[in-house]
Structure 1
Amino acid sequence: MPFKKLHASIKEKLESLEINTPTPFQSKSIPLIKSGANIFCTAPENSGKTTTLLLTTMQKLQCEEVGTAPRAIILVGDNEKAKALYDTFNEYTRRTSLRVYVCDEKLHIDLLKSEIFEGTDILIATPQIMNKLLLLNGVNVTQLKLFCIDDAEFLSQKTPLSNIMAITQSLAKCQFVIYSEKMHPFLKRFESYFMTNARTIGL
């Protein structure tokens, strides 16, 4: 079972939540994400995609803080989703040393830059804010291991899509994982840009 091969801190948290059995999507996706491949993860709502994102991000970072630069970046469609995902991550990482930071769009960009500079392991943001931070040298991406996009349907809009293209051009080599309900044509285009040799997992 995928859960049995995860970090001890993750297994402990899952046991406390009485989550004992992975969903069919998690059984298929977690081992492949752990392998380090670029992956399109497609499954209907309530298939366990967000939990998979949480678990595999924690696993990739081995549940411990390292340095000051983010090692995982997660992009979402809007500010409310960013804050909701931040709250969920905090619930899962509470007994680890992992530092999670959410870029609240309501805060001034200089404040975001200074708080990120203090040190974070997992950075959650919208494409607009992330692109602005990169343009202002507000985030160090040299230590990045994992770049995820959650509920990627929002990329059908022109502005987020162009922001993603600009962001990924700024990144060093890392693993890319995109979560969506379906394999949309606009996502397929990423194979020519940053989703090289990507695998697709679907339900």
Structure 2
Amino acid sequence: MTKTLIPFADMGLNPALLQALTSEGYHTPTPIQSQAIPDVMKGKDLLGIAQTGTGKTAAFALPILHRLAADRKAPVPRTTRALILSPTRELASQIADSFKVYGAHLGFRVAVIFGGVKYGGQERALQQGLDILVATPGRLLDHVQQKTLDLSTTEIFVLDEADQMLDLGFVKPIRQVVSRMTARRQNLFFSATMPTEIGKLAGELLKDPVKVQVTPQATTVERINQSVIIVEQGRKRALLSEMFADPAMTRCLVFTKTKHGADKVAAYLEAGGVEAGAIHGNKSQSQRERALEAFKKGKLRVLVATDIAARGIDVDGVSHVVNFELPFVPEAYVHRIGRTARAGADGSAVSFCAPDEMKLLRDIERVTRQKLKAGIAATTRPWRRWTPPSWLRASARRPPCRTTSVRAATDAAPAVAAATAIRTATACVPKAARVSPTAFAAAASPAPSRPTAPSRRVRPSIPWPANARPSHRWKATSR
């Protein structure tokens, strides 16, 4: 039974928030927003499970802004009232941008801190005191240990993309962060999947939570047209380059397993005339920001990324997602293809599967509970190598040395041609009357200008110095 979606205007949100939503063109909430916002506004803990691209950010940003506006306080230096933890830099920046857009008429102080940049600007922002702080776990703990941030007065704690936190090994840092906060706080957990370890962490931190599960765990958006192509590993880059002959692939994300692989794919596409860039953990923050900004503005047709950025890319109008290599973790497939078909739009996801990746494909189909449409790419394997007949192989059992191979092949060409002609001409002659093609060809061929027998390569003599020891001379002559 489909639940009726409550409009934003009927949720009791702050008028300033409704004004910002109207200016952005948002009128009807998504299912996760409709179910989560009323309970979060009441101060309850919440565990939300929803597909990637269904609006989880607004599901916690809007009620947090409403609660802070209802109880305004002057920011205390080196503290924050609301803390949102994010696994990646890109996702942290986009969450902070969402808070700034929705709270444009409220005047709250919002900051984002992550690694890869200098500490100076972040320390100055923390010194003034914040209403909302979006951070990655590593850099957040650095500031806590340097005593530039105090979490003892934090009122709201949000853990976004909790399952990726587990994949990146952030469970221990999360517990360290939580241990520095007061027990009287509101906790919000949002994720697309719910592994066992994250379920245990949620049980430790959440108090009588409201569970909102819009769809079954690890399911994909219905609007995404998914398919898989069985192709050899060495053929993948050429196939990817050929796919961009289709003008429908206007804005495409390509995901690889490794950072080096992302650079190689981007360089291959650039060499083929396709505007492409790469984004991964080895890039500096400025390089990542420039590549992402160019992709958003349409200057890049393709952005090649690793799984570290799979959840941090929120770009409108992504037409296609290509899994150049299947992920080791099946749940990562859900987040990869969730970059397209966002906010109710349509999209396509194509996965390249090499023969040695069939087990990964079966794991993905088992986790997502659906069978992907499969196709086989045209192979580029060369034709089967021609095998010479036995009478010709017998004369070539002892190959010539490297120094005479070219000349021997040139001298033997007339003999081979004559033997082939004689064999064709005597096809209808009885076996008893036939002449050996090898003997006939050898007799009919002109004498070679140089002997074709392989000659033994003679090691050139090396003059040794007069003062060399006898042992050296003995070793040289005995080689």
**How does the TM-score come out when normalised to structure 1?**
0.90
DSSP-derived class of the 1:159 partner: coil
2:354 aligned residue:
none
In 2, the alpha carbon distance for the partners of 1:101 and 1:81 equals: 13
Pick closer, same or farther for the CA change 1:201–1:192 going to 2, 3 Å.
Answer: closer
Native 8 Å contact 1:65 1:99 kept in 2:
no
1:83 aligned residue:
93
Match of 1:20 among 6, 12, 27: 27
Superposed CA deviations along residues 65-96 of structure 1, whole A, max 9, x for unmatched, are 63233100011111121112222222222222
1:66 aligned residue:
74
Match of 1:52 among 54, 59, 68: 59
Q: Judge which range, 128-137 or 165-174, deviates more.
A: 128-137
2:226 aligned residue:
none
Match of 1:202 among 213, 220, 230: 213
- CA-CA distance at 1:99 after TM superposition: 0.7
DSSP-derived class of the 1:121 partner: strand
Alignment of 1:2-41 (within 5 A): 3=8, 4=10, 5-41=12-48
1:128 aligned residue:
138
2:230 aligned residue:
none
Q: What amino acid maps onto 2:42 in structure 1?
A: S
Q: What amino acid maps onto 2:48 in structure 1?
A: C
In 1, the alpha carbon distance for the partners of 2:128 and 2:162 equals: 29
Q: What amino acid maps onto 2:25 in structure 1?
A: E
- CA-CA distance at 1:158 after TM superposition: 5.7
Q: Judge which range, 166-175 or 81-90, deviates more.
A: 81-90
2:201 aligned residue:
190
Native 8 Å contact 1:191 1:198 kept in 2:
no
CA RMSD of aligned residues (A): 1.9
In 2, the alpha carbon distance for the partners of 1:87 and 1:29 equals: 21
Native 8 Å contact 2:114 2:140 kept in 1:
no
DSSP-derived class of the 1:94 partner: coil
In 2, the alpha carbon distance for the partners of 1:16 and 1:111 equals: 31
Q: Judge which range, 150-159 or 42-51, deviates more.
A: 150-159
Q: Judge which range, 146-155 or 193-202, deviates more.
A: 193-202
Q: What amino acid maps onto 1:38 in structure 2?
A: D
- CA-CA distance at 1:14 after TM superposition: 1.1
Match of 1:114 among 100, 119, 124: 124
Native 8 Å contact 1:149 1:177 kept in 2:
yes
DSSP-derived class of the 1:59 partner: helix
Alignment of 1:89-104 (within 5 A): 89-104=99-114
Flag as ranges the 4+ runs of structure 1 deviating above 4 A.
none
Q: What amino acid maps onto 2:116 in structure 1?
A: K
DSSP-derived class of the 2:130 partner: coil
Match of 2:153 among 143, 152, 160: 143
- CA-CA distance at 1:140 after TM superposition: 2.1
Pick closer, same or farther for the CA change 1:192–1:51 going to 2, 3 Å.
Answer: closer
Q: What amino acid maps onto 2:192 in structure 1?
A: E
Q: What amino acid maps onto 1:67 in structure 2?
A: P
In 1, the alpha carbon distance for the partners of 2:212 and 2:102 equals: 24
In 1, the alpha carbon distance for the partners of 2:210 and 2:49 equals: 11
| Larger relative contact order (Cα-Cα within 8 Å, sequence gap ≥ 6) | 1
Superposed CA deviations along residues 161-192 of structure 1, whole A, max 9, x for unmatched, are 11001110110121110110122212211244
Q: Judge which range, 102-111 or 176-185, deviates more.
A: 102-111
In 2, the alpha carbon distance for the partners of 1:199 and 1:80 equals: 29
Match of 2:190 among 164, 179, 186: 179
Q: Judge which range, 152-161 or 95-104, deviates more.
A: 152-161
Match of 1:160 among 157, 170, 180: 170
The sequence identity of aligned pairs, in percent, is 23
Unaligned runs of 5+ in 1: none
Aligned length: 203
DSSP-derived class of the 1:62 partner: helix
**How does the TM-score come out when normalised to structure 2?**
0.40
2:330 aligned residue:
none
In 2, the alpha carbon distance for the partners of 1:73 and 1:181 equals: 20
